[in-house]
Amino acid sequence: MDAPTLDRPLIRRHLAEVEKAWPIRFLGLVPAEVMTSPRAHGRINLLADADPKVSLFDLLGIESDLSEGLGREVAIVPTDSELGRNPDLVAATVPV
C-alpha cells in the first residue's frame, strides 16, 4: 500500500496557526515506520516541543483541530515523552 501524498504547504499553514495560538513548536514529520503504533500508518505523525503548560488535554484538542483542518488523523509526539526521546524516532524525523 502506498503512503498517502502529503500537502506540505497546507500542513505548514495549519502548524503555523497552532504555533501562533499555543506555546508549541513542531519539529517535523515522523515516518510511520519508526512509530510503535500500528495506527501510525495513514496518519500524520508530528514531533513537537511543547511548553510544560500545554497539558495532555490541550494536545488532544490540538490534534483534533489539526485532523479536522487537514482531513487526516494527526498524532503529536511530544519531545518530553518516552517515544519523543527515542533517538531513532528523532533521527528519522523530517522537516514539514
- Residue indicated by cell numbers 498517502: 4
Find out whether 48 and 78 touch, Cβ atoms under 8 Å: yes
pTM of the predicted model as reported, rounded to 2 decimal places: 0.89
Which cell goes with 83? 517515544
Query: Which residues, in sequence order, are bridge partners of residue 28?
Result: 47
Q: 10-36: per-residue pLDDT in tens?
A: 999 999 999 999 999 999 999 887 777
Given a cut of 70, is residue 73 above it in pLDDT? yes
Percent of the chain with pLDDT over 70: 93
41-48 average pLDDT score: 90
Within 10 Å of residue 14's Cβ, how many Cβ atoms?
A: 21
61-80 average pLDDT score: 95
Find out whether 94 and 31 touch, Cβ atoms under 8 Å: yes
- Residue indicated by cell numbers 500524520: 44
Q: Give the model's confidence band at 40: pLDDT under 50 very low, under 70 low, under 90 confident, else very high.
A: low
Find out whether 85 and 33 touch, Cβ atoms under 8 Å: no
